[in-house]
Amino acid sequence: MLNEGKLFQSSYPKSFRDLVGKNGVITVQGEQQRNLHAIASNMMRLDKLKSHFLEDIQKVVLQTLSHIQDNRTILLQDVCRKLAINLMVNQLLGVSSEAQINEMAQLFSDFVDGCLSVPINWPGFAYHTAMKAREKIISEIFITIEKRKQEGASEVGNGVLGRLLIEENLADDAVADFIINLLFAGNETTAKTMLFAVYFLTQCPRALTQLRDEQNSVRPNSGEEMLTWQDYKAMSFTQCVIDETLRLGGIAIWLMREAKQDITYQDFVIPKGCFVVPFLSAVHLDENLYKGALSFDPWRWMDPKNEEKRNWRSSPFYSPFGGGARFCPGAELARLQIALFLHHFVNSYRWIQLKQDRMSFFPSARLVNGFQIRPIKRHKSKQKEKG
């Protein structure tokens, strides 16, 4: 990861490159990649999370959770996917219409299904369906770009797209590819981490109790539904739960790289042009690095001995957001979304798991049965009770 552009370069299959676009920050190389990465990082700086994202995230979370029917069976996987696409479309495009979001959710599902498919552009093949979905998503982005231009520049309520048009000088097709890359990078990863966090907490009642106690104490008597940045920063155990979820059920479990030259590593020679797949999860689940590596143990991150290891921006032992020149620019945003979801979900519901589930890591990290639960609304007078 630290030798991006030197010894190795990012390399993806044709279907993936075609779908994310030639101007995508995920696939471009060199100076273009550095420029686009800097723009993405600027769009999601901490000060912008506070001023542009904090309240909007909570509005979307509360709106999405309000559709959960009390004491009815749901697949939490579907709820988290709906929430994640709602968040990404709202924050990137400034769109809040439920009809538009539902349309985008279906298009994006088709898009994602084709990203690692055989690139056969013929009806009936996943690649063909995904390319058609891409065309429609790009068309929606162009319509939104034109609308923003006609309305005049305003940072308020127009999402990342609105700020891009104000702050950066990019052609419309580059803006469209930029947005579709952020949609792809943020949607599935956020949805699955939310899902896995609730799954792991359900398997570990002690952790769930401690997290719920912390969330109940964040603003016990304020009467305000919306959390402040200070409230978010007070969620120390919640951050441990997020870190452990990312370690044990991380989404970016492997990367795709190509050797730019012959490389000698220990007793091996990696020839120029070879495809190299580093498995991040092999490090995250290494018993030599993490005692009880296959167990969900958020308390491990409270141990001072793990403080340096926990630095997910630079640690060689913990890289849930990648590293080097391609470190995920939306890492802080993702953590904020997950923490706010957990706050509102555990404070609003208790739940019963109805069907046994298990993790699978092929072709990507997932819960085999989608985590079937029956959520039961928690009445405010009882929300301070434990469990």
Q: How far apart are CA 326 and CA 257, in angstroms?
A: 12
Q: Point out the least confidently predicted range of 115-124, 151-160, 321-330.
A: 151-160
- Region 281-306: mean pLDDT is 95
Q: How far is CA 28 from CA 74, 110, 134, 179, 277, in A?
A: 40, 23, 18, 14, 18
pLDDT at residue 362 tops 70: no
| Residue in 191, 207, 188 with CA at minimum distance from that of residue 346 | 207
**Yes or no: is domain 15-252+286-377 CATH 3.40.640.10?**
no
pLDDT of 24 = 86
Q: What percent of the chain has pLDDT over 90?
A: 64
**156 contacts: CB under 8 Å, gap ≥ 6:** none
pLDDT of 224 = 63
Residues 1 and 319 sit within 8 Å (Cβ to Cβ) = yes
Domain ranges of the chain: 15-252+286-377
pLDDT at residue 218 tops 90: no
Q: What percent of the chain has pLDDT over 70?
A: 94
How far from chain centre, in Å, is Cα 130?
Answer: 20
pLDDT at residue 97 tops 50: yes
pLDDT of 160 = 86
How far from chain centre, in Å, is Cα 230?
Answer: 22
- Region 297-304: mean pLDDT is 97
Confidence class for position 386, pLDDT limits 50, 70, 90: very low
- Region 139-166: mean pLDDT is 79
Q: Point out the least confidently predicted range of 46-60, 65-79, 213-227.
A: 213-227
pLDDT of 165 = 86
Query: Which residues sit opposite 279 in a β-bridge?
Result: 254
The verdict on whether residue 240 carries a ligand-binding annotation is no
Q: Report which listed range, 45-59, 115-129, 215-229, 244-258, is most confident.
A: 115-129
Helix (H, G, I), strand (E, B) or coil at 119: coil
Q: How far apart are CA 386 and CA 299, in angstroms?
A: 19
Mean pLDDT of the chain: 90
| Overall pTM surpassing 0.95 (yes/no) | no
Confidence class for position 200, pLDDT limits 50, 70, 90: very high
Query: Which residues sit opposite 375 in a β-bridge?
Result: 351
pLDDT of 163 = 82
pLDDT of 365 = 75
pLDDT of 292 = 96
pLDDT of 320 = 92
Q: How far is CA 167 from CA 161, 176, 239, in A?
A: 10, 15, 32
Kindly state the DSSP code that residue 301 receives in the 8-state scheme: G
Confidence class for position 220, pLDDT limits 50, 70, 90: low
pLDDT of 93 = 85
Q: Which amino acid is at 177?
A: D
**195 contacts: CB under 8 Å, gap ≥ 6:** 76, 77, 80, 367, 371
Whether the CA torsion 321, 335, 68, 385 is positive or negative: it is positive
pLDDT at residue 381 tops 70: no
> What DSSP string runs through 68-118?
SPTT--EEHHHHHHHHHHHHHHHHHH----HHHHHHHHHHHHHHHHTTTS-
Q: How far apart are CA 67 and CA 377, in angstroms?
A: 12
Kindly state the DSSP code that residue 379 receives in the 8-state scheme: P
- Region 87-116: mean pLDDT is 86
pLDDT of 363 = 62
pLDDT of 185 = 86
Confidence class for position 157, pLDDT limits 50, 70, 90: low
Confidence class for position 263, pLDDT limits 50, 70, 90: very high
